[in-house]
Amino acid sequence: MKKLNILVIGATGATGRELVKLLLNDNDVEKVIIFVRKAPKLEHEKLKIHTISFNEIINHKDLIKGDVLFSALGTTKKDAGGKKEQYLVDYTFQHEFANIASINGVENYSLVSSIGANSKSSFFYPKTKGALEEAVKKLNFRKIDIFQPPMLIRQPDLMRAGEKSGIKILNKLNKIGILKSQKPLAVEALAEKMLKVAKTPSKEKVSTYLPKDLFK
């Protein structure tokens, strides 16, 4: 097996951060190329950091080349500043980046979506996530893996308001057999699953991993 050149967007977020750690320590990976708005304080012989403006992705198209693209970009309406700004991050930037990657010959694409993603939803967040899923399925990748995780247990410095209490409530409900399908998942476990799946050959062009699949 040839060593892989991996592209990552969302590398400084909760899942992306753990994914980059795994990739840098994986013997099957030759280079990890991350695209960020602000460079993290991270150095490694395998790591290449491109600081870019996601509003001008097309200007960086010649850099978007490799074997696998991991897309772990995401935000909230509060962090983004509104629905319009959130849509840019959760749909536009990711679709544009994936489209260029597919044109440039990147074969495998791995997307962090969300539980309940549905392009026909009447709610903004799952509708946006579902729309992105439908759009990237049409791109010319050889293999597309879509992950729909439940609520994520993030690193303490990235835990969002209300998530701690939400996780505690779900854990209590899970113990008595309620909402087991929404059992919270650690970002480390999601990153491990994403890397394992990316390295596993598949005859299917598109595979979607639901919460129940992520605990296996």
Q: What are the tens digits of pLDDT across the range 85-119?
A: 999 999 999 999 999 999 999 999 999 999 999 99
Instruction: For residue 88, count CB atoms less than 10 angstroms from its CB and return exposed for 0-12, middle for 13-18, buried for 19 or more.
Output: middle
- pLDDT on residue 160: 59
Q: Does residue 177 lie in a domain region?
A: no
- pLDDT on residue 201: 92
Please choose, from the candidates 83, 86, 131, the residue with its C-alpha nearest in 3D space to the C-alpha of residue 111: 131
Q: Does residue 73 lie in a domain region?
A: yes
Q: How far apart are CA 194 and CA 188, in angstroms?
A: 10
Q: Does residue 172 lie in a domain region?
A: no
CATH code, 99: 3.40.50.720
Q: Does residue 176 lie in a domain region?
A: no
Residue 10 confidence (pLDDT) above 90? yes
Domains held by the chain: number: 1
Which is it for strands 47-51 and 68-71: parallel, antiparallel or unpaired? unpaired
**What are the two backbone dihedrals, phi and then psi, of residue 70, each rounded to the nearest 5 degrees?**
-100, 125
Q: Centre a 10 Å sphere on the Cβ of residue 83 and count the other Cβ atoms it contains.
A: 13
Please choose, from the candidates 78, 115, 96, the residue with its C-alpha nearest in 3D space to the C-alpha of residue 35: 96
Length of the chain: 216
Is the pLDDT higher at 1 or at 109? 109
Residue 83 confidence (pLDDT) above 80? yes
Q: Does residue 163 lie in a domain region?
A: no
Q: How far is CA 38 from the centre of its chain?
A: 18
Please choose, from the candidates 46, 54, 52, 4, the residue with its C-alpha nearest in 3D space to the C-alpha of residue 28: 4
Q: Does residue 166 lie in a domain region?
A: no
pLDDT averaged over the chain? 89
* Domain coverage including residue 58: 4-154+186-213
* Mean pLDDT for the stretch of residues 1-6: 90
Q: Helix axis angle, 14-24 relative to 187-198, nearest 10°?
A: 50
Q: What are the tens digits of pLDDT across the range 29-57?
A: 999 999 999 999 999 999 999 999 999 99
Q: Does residue 170 lie in a domain region?
A: no
Q: Does residue 161 lie in a domain region?
A: no
